Structure 1
Amino acid sequence: MTILIIDDNLEVRLSIAYFLEDQGFEVLEADSPTSAKQLLSVRAVSLILLDMNFSRDTTSGEEGMSFLRWLNKQSTAPAVICLTGWGSVALAVQALQLGASDFIEKPWQNDALLASIQQQLKVSQRQKVRIDRAAKHPQPQINTSQSYVWQCPEIRNLEAQLARIAKTDASILLCGESGVGKSHIVEWLHECSQRAGGPLVSVNVGALSTSLFESELFGHKKGAFTDAKADRVGRFASACTGTLFLDEVATLSLPLQAKLLRVLESGEYEVLGSSETQRSDARLICATNADLAQLVARGEFRTDLLYRINTFVFELPPLRQRKEDIVPFATHLLAKHAQRYQMATKPLNEEVCAAFLHYPWPGNIRELSHVMERALLMSDGTHINLHDCQLRFASTPAPSYAQATVSYSEGQTLAELEKAAITHVLTEEKGAVSKAANRLGVSKSSLYRRIEKHGLKNEG
């Protein structure tokens, strides 16, 4: 097994490398995300240990997030464990939403790090075995092609409204937290539209740099700038006769908003390096998890651009507000993952159902899907149990217990929040580790590791 360490601190890399090599792993090192991308182009790795902050700043984690976004676009991506000395709940949630498998704060405990690595490698190995087995021995598949029917009245009302405008070319703005399913709504709208025969082109504008924005959206001619070695078709041209989906539109800077506004107002644009005016023939759908009204009030988003993209505005509620759908949709996702891995689906036990209803689901539908995939692969019994699910930010998931009084305050780190939750539950359970682990949604051995990590041995 080969592990890649991405960290700009040489001492950190050497410390982890020596430890992992003693455990029998092959270790590669990179001092920046750029170096790591070059290395990954020629070497396959089993797992990545990713620092979140590099040379440009020390606390935001944005460089690590940018690397995770890049990794998500690759055809094959190894598991990622994030390491940072500036951990917070918000940063951990965002990293997990972008596909990270775990989030560990510095300074780390070697035993805890090794346990996390072994767990992620175990999941990856099971995924590989199931996929290889499915390729060699195809089996009759469970029919999950039928779309899930939402029970939440708010979502059903939303679907009815969307159905009325799906066949039009009206611009649509979808709002809601990250992971609530905006991209799935876009796919459905495109399939129901009169442009279903054309392409659906999706662009995460938040991932586009200022220098490449025009080239990506409008295209360029060979020689238009230094690195333009060939003609490139822009996204507006690619979406001709179809649908163009611009995600994270609120992240655009004001100069880029002005460039986008021109083509939305006139339907006209020029390819970089050409004086010939092109016309756009694409239906526009935008999405954001930001409050655009607040951004407009602060002068960070153009009012005229907002008017161009919000002919119809729809707000998708977070998963925690769709209580009647959480357990049925989890079962639906479990069946889909079982079909993918050629496995038999399993029922959720009552404890899991109760925990799911009380869990806040910060990553929404995306997180629920990841949880069900992981639970299916890790489960060894006839049912999905709570310790198979590994809910990340649950303090007291089951309703049969008193609600935890642990609260989050601004500036509190993930480690401090975890320690407070463990201390609270252990106190309520009078030091009974098995019961506390059950309430916290982790295995008994995992809780013991966390007790040792936080120095709670003498406090219970």
Structure 2
Amino acid sequence: MSCPLFNIGQWRYKSSVKPPFSLAVIVDDDPDITLAAKLALRDLFEKVETFGSPAELLTLLKDTSPDAILLDLNFQRGATDGREGLGLLGQIMELDPDAAVVIITAHGAVSIAVEAIKAGASDFVAKPWSNERLAATVRSAAALRHSRIDARTERGRATELLPSTETPLLGHSPAMERVRVLIERAAPTDANVLILGENGTGKEIVAREIHRLSRRNAQPMISIDLGATSESLFESELFGHVKGAFTGAAGERIGRLKAADHSTLFLDEIGNLPLHLQPKLLTALEQREVVPVGANRPTPIDVRVVAATNASPEQLADEKKFRQDLLFRLNTIEIELPPLRDRREDIPDLLDHYLSLYARKYDKPQRKLPPGVLQMLIEHDWPGNVRALRHASERAVIMAEGDEYRAEDFPLPTRHRAAPLSAESDTLNLDQLEKQMIERALRMHHFNVSLAASELGLSRGALYRRMEKHGL
């Protein structure tokens, strides 16, 4: 039955600004209600469809996914229990689990609307409504739907940046057993963890193990390499941005912190975060909320942070390089990974794992590792740690011939002292000398950036920036 529910004086002229959402659908058997709701939502959606029966909506959902659905609970004459609408809601959620459904209800049927919310509806509005209240409710529902979809997309994008195959935490040396004990104690809690260790020691593997054993493992771990993230993109990557926040921001994007909501955020190379950007990360972690670039309102987050760095404790204690209040926030639990040269008894297990892994990958035969060659590999210092051993194993599998591995199958770069400056140097220009040292380190390690960075005492990100600077 039609009734004068709405104040026509509330209408405003339609804005020329493009609406933030594409499509809304209103389902109600009262044409007065569908018309009034359509007018109330016209500034929010490029298109507003109205249907008088559930069948029309179900037909639409087979091909289209609306940004928001405004749904009445009763369609048959005289019906007041909302059963028909609840059944339709279930069908909607099966067709589109991310659907943003706002229930239309009378004041006396709020309990049914609450039941609908438990069944998947985003919110409800009671008749008679104000246009502002209706628009705000539907806008929030549509924004929530987009946020869920963006979060899933961002998680997928972030996960794709990580290795597709899980690498186990290998080794049974006393040093690694201590690491395992710390992981087992820290993982079930929500305490933030700081992982220390040289390049190639397996810090990301430890982070993944902490997440796997945590109560947040139902969601994927989100990772960001701060050493490879430019300063200009730091805020957008971590906090997200709204449409039009800066040149090139064609749409909204959630950042890694929001994508890691109810999950674990792995901040790799945290020691490379510039000092002037550290307060922004600290504020987000302390207040447990983020403000996307260009936005005015904060968004709450529930994130567990696992950070990693190859910086030494002494370097982290330098207030000129790292804020101590941020360090205290990150290192509730500290796990230090030993370099491979300090756990040589683990080298046979690591070699057995990687040689078998790459033999299967490249469809090569399983070859024997003679005792003499094994001893040579055990005595090697492995300046690139486990990562260098993995690369050496891969090369050996590809290059080896015969039934056994030979010493020459394994490239074993050693740490050479830098040659002192002499009269043979053509220049004393610091930029030229830096370029020469980088080229030398890259050639020495067969252009393996990780090993070259370790040789130079730099992080991967810092070496990449210097390579770009010198056009290498």
TM-score normalized by the length of structure 1 = 0.54
Q: Does 1:170 align with 2:191?
A: yes
In structure 2, runs of 5+ residues without a counterpart are 1-157, 422-436, 442-472
Matched residue SS, 1:383: coil
| Counterpart contact for 1:172–1:311, Cα < 8 Å | yes
| Counterpart contact for 1:249–1:287, Cα < 8 Å | yes
Q: Does 1:408 align with 2:429?
A: no
For the structure 1 residues 360 and 146, does the alpha-carbon distance in structure 2 shift closer, same or farther, using more than 3 Å as the test?
A: closer
Task: Give the deviation of 1:215 after TM superposition.
Answer: 0.2
For the structure 1 residues 411 and 210, does the alpha-carbon distance in structure 2 shift closer, same or farther, using more than 3 Å as the test?
A: farther
Partner of residue 305, structure 2: 284
2: CA distance, partners of 1:148 / 1:173: 17
Q: Show the 5 A alignment for 1:80-91.
A: none
2: CA distance, partners of 1:415 / 1:216: 31
| Counterpart contact for 2:168–2:205, Cα < 8 Å | no
Number of corresponding residues: 268
Task: Give the deviation of 1:148 after TM superposition.
Answer: 6.1
Partner of residue 55, structure 1: none
Matched residue SS, 1:206: coil
Task: Give the deviation of 1:295 after TM superposition.
Answer: 4.0
1: CA distance, partners of 2:407 / 2:218: 44
Q: Show the 5 A alignment for 1:356-435.
A: 356-393=377-414, 408=417, 411=420
Q: 1:185 aligns with which of 183, 187, 206?
A: 206
Task: Give the deviation of 1:328 after TM superposition.
Answer: 2.0
Q: Show the 5 A alignment for 1:17-36.
A: none
Partner of residue 341, structure 1: 362
Partner of residue 354, structure 1: 375
| Counterpart contact for 2:257–2:290, Cα < 8 Å | no
TM-score normalized by the length of structure 2 = 0.53
Q: Does 1:242 align with 2:251?
A: no
The one of the two structures with greater contact order (alpha-carbon pairs below 8 A, sep at least 6) is: 1
Q: 1:265 aligns with which of 267, 280, 286?
A: 286
Aligned structure 1 segments of 4 or more residues deviating by more than 6 angstroms: 412-417
Task: Give the deviation of 1:146 after TM superposition.
Answer: 9.8
| Counterpart contact for 1:148–1:329, Cα < 8 Å | no
Task: Give the deviation of 1:416 after TM superposition.
Answer: 9.7
2:240 partner letter: G
Task: Give the deviation of 1:381 after TM superposition.
Answer: 1.1
2: CA distance, partners of 1:271 / 1:317: 38
Partner of residue 172, structure 2: 151
Matched residue SS, 2:227: helix
Task: Give the deviation of 1:210 after TM superposition.
Answer: 1.5
Q: 2:331 aligns with which of 310, 319, 326?
A: 310
Partner of residue 227, structure 1: 248
| Counterpart contact for 1:199–1:241, Cα < 8 Å | no
Partner of residue 254, structure 1: 275
Matched residue SS, 1:224: coil
Task: Give the deviation of 1:151 after TM superposition.
Answer: 2.0
1:352 partner letter: V
Cα RMSD of the aligned pairs, angstroms, is 2.9
| Counterpart contact for 2:170–2:349, Cα < 8 Å | no
| Counterpart contact for 1:202–1:245, Cα < 8 Å | yes
| Counterpart contact for 1:318–1:364, Cα < 8 Å | yes
In structure 1, runs of 5+ residues without a counterpart are 1-72, 77-143, 395-406, 418-460
2: CA distance, partners of 1:291 / 1:346: 39
| Counterpart contact for 1:292–1:301, Cα < 8 Å | no
Matched residue SS, 2:357: helix
Partner of residue 216, structure 2: 195
- Cα deviations by residue, 1:54-88 (Å, 9 ceiling, x for unpaired): xxxxxxxxxxxxxxxxxxx9x99xxxxxxxxxxxx
Matched residue SS, 1:286: strand
Task: Give the deviation of 1:227 after TM superposition.
Answer: 1.3
Q: Does 1:299 align with 2:320?
A: yes
| Counterpart contact for 1:218–1:269, Cα < 8 Å | yes
What percent of counterpart residues are identical? Answer: 39
2: CA distance, partners of 1:416 / 1:211: 30
For the structure 1 residues 349 and 194, does the alpha-carbon distance in structure 2 shift closer, same or farther, using more than 3 Å as the test?
A: same
- Cα deviations by residue, 1:292-317 (Å, 9 ceiling, x for unpaired): 43343352110100000000011100
